[in-house]
Every structure is written in structure tokens, then in C-alpha cells.
Amino acid sequence: MAVFFYAKNMKHFERFAKITKIDDEERMVFGYASTPDLDSDGEIIKLSAMEKALPSYMQFPTLREMHQPKAAGKTIEASIRSGKQKGLYIGAKVVSDEAWKLVKEGVYKAFSIGGNVKKRVGNIIEELELVEISLVDSPANKNAVIDLWKADKLNKDAETDLSKEVLEKEC
């Protein structure tokens, strides 16, 4: 894990999740930026922690590349989902031509969040400061499937069918 210091005496964290949808015309990418699953660092971010951190993040909804201090775009929409799939689900607009090319070529396959842990109990992160979300190439959370289609053009049945096709092709 790369280490960056956003605030004195606070541990930086990065968590990864795969991009699930791409809208080529609008240069939008969609997916879970964080889930409450055990990650490769052996930690879990509670949904309540992410929900509390989200309003502050959305004041300056930074989208970066590989956690570098280079803007790639911005997060347009974000919500905490608590149904069958849980986590911070975002829609982000990629304005950087270079970053967009890397998304379309499948180099950037995932999102990663970065920030500071404010409260931890064991391996559970209970409070955090969400500083940025990045497009990344190597996710720690490998449970999500990448689905490439325009999110606003399909109904739920079509989304389900396409997801099944993608799963079958990967297996």
C-alpha cells in the first residue's frame, strides 16, 4: 500500500472496488468505490463511516488517477447502498483524455478511496475522512464484475442479462 499523509498523525488508507459501468458519450464511469467487505489489508470500513464522510467529500468531489495529485475528473453522484450489494456507489465524469483512454482500454478497472482513519476498533474502521477517489489499475477488492454499457440506456432485465453474460465469459 502506498503511503501518503493528508493530515498529521492520521493513517492514510486506500480501498479498491471495480468500475461496473461506462457511458462513452458522457465519459461517465460507475461502480462501487468502497464496500464493507474485508479488504486485502484485513480491514473493513463500516457503511455508517462512509455515509458520515460522504457529505464533506462531495463539497470537493475529487477524482484522481492512481492517488496522484492530478485531477482526472470529478464525482458527479454518490450514494450509500445497503441492499443486496452494499457500499459507496458513485458515478464519476472523466475529463482527462489520457485517463479516459486508460479506462476504455481496461487499464483503469477500478476505483480506490483515499483518506484518513479517524476511529478504528480492531480491524473495523468506524470513522474516516474521505479525501479522494481515484481511478486505479489494480484493485484489492476483486469481487465486482466490470460491465461496459451505458447506464441510462438499459432496463433492469437487460442489465441482469448482460451481467450474466459477462460472468459466463469470465468463468
Please report the pLDDT score of residue 1 as a whole number.
32
CA 60, CA 63: separation in Å to the nearest integer? 9
Distance, CA of 109 to chain centre: 10
pLDDT in tens, 145-156: 223 323 343 334
Confidence label for 34 from pLDDT (cuts 50, 70 and 90): confident
pLDDT in tens, 45-89: 899 999 999 999 999 999 999 989 999 999 999 999 988 888 888
More confident of the two residues 160 and 16: 16
Residues written for the chain: 171
Grid coordinates in use for 57? 467529500
Q: Does the pLDDT of residue 97 top 70, yes or no?
A: yes
Q: Which segments of 81-154 does DSSP mark as H helices, in order?
A: 97-104
Cβ neighbours of 122 (radius 10 Å): 9
User: For the whole prediction, is pTM greater than 0.85?
Assistant: no
pLDDT in tens, 18-31: 677 777 788 998 88
- In whole numbers, what is the pLDDT of the chain averaged over residues? 76
